[in-house]
Structure 1
Amino acid sequence: MQEPEKKKKNIPALIGIVAGGLTMILVQQFFFKAPSYDQQMMSAASEINKSCPMMVDQETRLDNAVALPENVFQYNYTLVNMEKASTDASQLENYLKPILINNVKSNPDMKINRDNKTTMGYYYKDKNGEFLFKVLVTPDLYDN
């Protein structure tokens, strides 16, 4: 007859163990969870922006970087010696696009972006702030 009483005494202990385990899991999820990739992208943009504006070369200034919705990371550039009226933007875009794709494909610093299937955006404007072109390097362009 002592068996049922012993089982009854074990039920609260078992409930306590299960509740404690669930509490531990929830605390880990809410307080010790690794940052999401979106948060990592926003943090990366913030770090880059601490150094901006920054001259990349004699013609190109990196103005800032932004993490955009739908897994897009964009660099915003100004071509400091060009004006929209005297620039063939499509020719320049056609020249830069394969270079940008190759950079995303081969640059070790871009591995995290490749692993997370991030679309890399490159937005260019002229020295007066007028839009010239935008290159989007999507996963289908760098995964092959």
Structure 2
Amino acid sequence: MKRINGTMLVLLLTGCQLTSEPSVMDLLRQSSNDLNKTTPLMVDQETQLDSTYVLPNKFVYKYTLISYMRENLDAEKFYNTILQQVTAYVCSSPDMQFFVDNNVDVGYSYYDMDNVYITEAVVKTADCPS
């Protein structure tokens, strides 16, 4: 009888784990996988979304500026402009509310037409106004 009860307990606990809610990381990974099925994707005339990936507590969008080379850009000015734009978007857009609600930072990583790294703007969602 103890063996049957032990087996039932294992089955119950295993069943509970299988029916539990997915973790934030699981949801982020699934979102990244789903979005990556649609890439590359032109988001405007000069910017291509290449992929997304997930790090602990961070979701990253990887973009290519298809008409620019790193040496022809003012990387600091570009960074400041992008950071301001993406911060406003992440902190106010209903599409980004999941990230804000779960304190998941959002990175926007940019590369030039030759796949040379330009910069990454990271929105710290904990700093978004409530």
Q: Please indicate the TM-score interval, normalised by the length of the shorter structure.
A: 0.7 to 0.9
Percent of counterpart pairs with the same letter?
30
The letter for the 1-side match of 2:42 is M
The structure having more radius of gyration, on CA atoms, is: 1
Alpha-carbon separation, structure 1, partners of 2:73 and 2:22: 42
Q: Which runs of 4+ in 1 moved over 6 A?
A: 18-21
Give the 3 Å change call, closer, same or farther, for CA 129–20 of structure 1 in structure 2: closer
TM-fit CA distance, 1:142: 1.6
The letter for the 2-side match of 1:142 is C
3-state SS of the aligned residue for 2:109? Answer: strand
Q: Does 1:93 align with 2:93?
A: no
Alpha-carbon separation, structure 2, partners of 1:31 and 1:94: 44
Give the structure 2 partner of residue 124 of structure 1. 110
Give the 3 Å change call, closer, same or farther, for CA 78–34 of structure 1 in structure 2: same
The letter for the 2-side match of 1:49 is N
**Counterparts in 2 of 1:71-90, with a 5 A limit?**
71-90=57-76
Alpha-carbon separation, structure 2, partners of 1:134 and 1:67: 14
The letter for the 1-side match of 2:70 is K
- The aligned length equals 128
The letter for the 2-side match of 1:91 is K
Deviations 1:23-66 (A, max 9, x none): 67514422211111111000000011011000000010000010
The letter for the 1-side match of 2:44 is D
Instruction: Give me the TM-score of the superposition, normalised by structure 2.
Output: 0.88
- Are the equivalent residues in 1 in contact too, given 2:100–2:126 (CA < 8 A)? no
